[in-house]
Amino acid sequence: MKERVGAVDQNLKVIFDEFVKPDKPVLDYMTSISGVTAEDIKKATLSVVDIQEILRPFLSTGTILVGHSLDHDLKVLKIDHPKVIDTSLVFKYPNARKFRRPSLNDLCKSMLGYEVQKAGVSHDCVHDAAATMKLVLALIEKRIGTTISQSKEDLEAKKSRLFVHKIPHNVPSELLERVLSVEFSSKEFTIDVKQAKTPGGYYCAVVNFDSSRKANKAFENVAGNKLEDSSGLPQKRIVFRLSCCPGGSLFVRKMD
């Protein structure tokens, strides 16, 4: 869910930064990832409808809305806008599969020379908004290319990760770690959890290993047949049962 909404203008000045008052109970704030605490939400006074009204003057007919994976954000905010620049669609990996979108962090490292989302540091939507605007300004003013270059180190790092998706919202991150350690037959990994895009929806996570060899071995250890996701990447379905909460299923796939 979107617990905080941030926006900047073309001069990188913050024009909006507010926490959202949820209309349903929050089951897991994922504070280590989102940076949002229960106290932050307790103080929130603005609903999604309120935020729509506040943002409306900024979204005039001629305004171009800039963002990364904007379709998700606009869906949650229930806003439709005709003119957008979505950096997840503008920039491409060389020889990328049809549906593969670059992450904002990969774009910033490749195009701007810095990480916007460092490991172990809470997510900040205002920093993301500023980074996205910098990318578009660099594209327009400096005429940078739209093909993302990746070093051998970056490629090896990507192969050392697995992507877990369609994780039920009622499975907290500590239980997810238990499920994966059993399926992977290993505890030698760390997990970066990503927030659900919609309230009460599935969330996802990136599992980090020390090497591509360990990541491949963990994937092979998962029981079940290999499937393919919509972009043709290999994945497997994990069905789990937990004594403390209802069971369910999720998918784990390779990153490349």
pLDDT in tens, 13-27: 999 999 998 877 776
CA distance 216 to 57: 50
Taking only the tens place, the pLDDT of each residue in 118-150 is: 766 677 889 999 999 999 999 999 988 898 877
Topology (CATH) of 4-141: Nucleotidyltransferase; domain 5 (3.30.420)
In terms of Cα–Cα distance, which of 44, 24, 160, 144 is closest to 90? 144
Which has the higher per-residue pLDDT, 201 or 177? 177
Query: What are the domain boundaries of the chain?
Result: 4-141, 153-254
Q: Encode pLDDT of 221-248 as tens digits.
A: 999 889 988 778 899 999 987 666 667 8
Q: Which tokens belong to 206?
A: 């990136």
Does residue 1 register a pLDDT over 60? Answer: no
Instruction: Name the pLDDT band for 200 (thresholds 50, 70, 90).
Output: low
Name beta bridge partners: 161: 208
pLDDT at 246: 65
Band of pLDDT at residue 99, cut at 50, 70 and 90:
low
Q: Which among 16, 14, 95, 12 is positioned nearest to 52, based on CA atoms?
A: 16
List, as one string, the DSSP characters of 77-140. Answer: HT---S-EEEHHHHSB-TT--TT----HHHHIIIIISS-SS-TTS---HHHHHHHHHHHHHHHH
Quote the pLDDT of residue 248. Answer: 85
> Hey, which residues does 19 pair with through a beta bridge?
4
Which residues are within 8 A (CB) of 93 and not within 5 positions of it... i.e. 6 or more apart? Answer: 100, 102, 147, 148, 150
pLDDT at 100: 74
pLDDT at 32: 62
Mean pLDDT along residues 31-36: 68
Residue 251's nearest CA partner among 168, 157, 159, 191 is 168
- Does residue 36 carry a pLDDT above 90? no
Nearest-angstrom CA–CA distance, 12 and 137 = 10
> At residue 217, does pLDDT exceed 70?
yes
Could you tell me the pLDDT band of residue 98, with boundaries at 50, 70 and 90?
Answer: low
Of 116 and 99, more confident: 116
Phi, psi of 168 (to 5 degrees): -60, 140
Quote the pLDDT of residue 140. Answer: 93
pLDDT score at 96: 63
Summarize pLDDT for 157-186 with one digit per residue, the tens.
888 999 999 998 888 888 899 999 999 999
Distances (CA, A) of 214 to 61, 181, 208, 242: 51, 13, 10, 26
Query: What does the pLDDT average to over 97-117?
Result: 84
Instruction: Say how far apart CA 18 and CA 6 lie, in whole Å.
Output: 7
Q: Does residue 30 carry a pLDDT above 70?
A: no
Query: What is the distance between the alpha carbons of residues 194 and 117, in angstroms, rounded to a whole number?
Result: 12
What is the 3-state composition of the chain as percent helix, strand, coil, each rounded to the nearest 5? 35, 20, 45
Q: What are phi and psi of 116, to 5 degrees?
A: -90, -20
| 153-254 is a CATH 2.60.40.1180 domain | no
pLDDT at residue number 195: 73
The DSSP bridge partners found for residue 249 are 239
Of the candidate ranges 66-75, 79-88, 100-109, 208-217, the one whose mean pLDDT is the lowest: 100-109
Percent of the chain, pLDDT > 90?
Answer: 48
| Mean pLDDT for the chain overall | 86
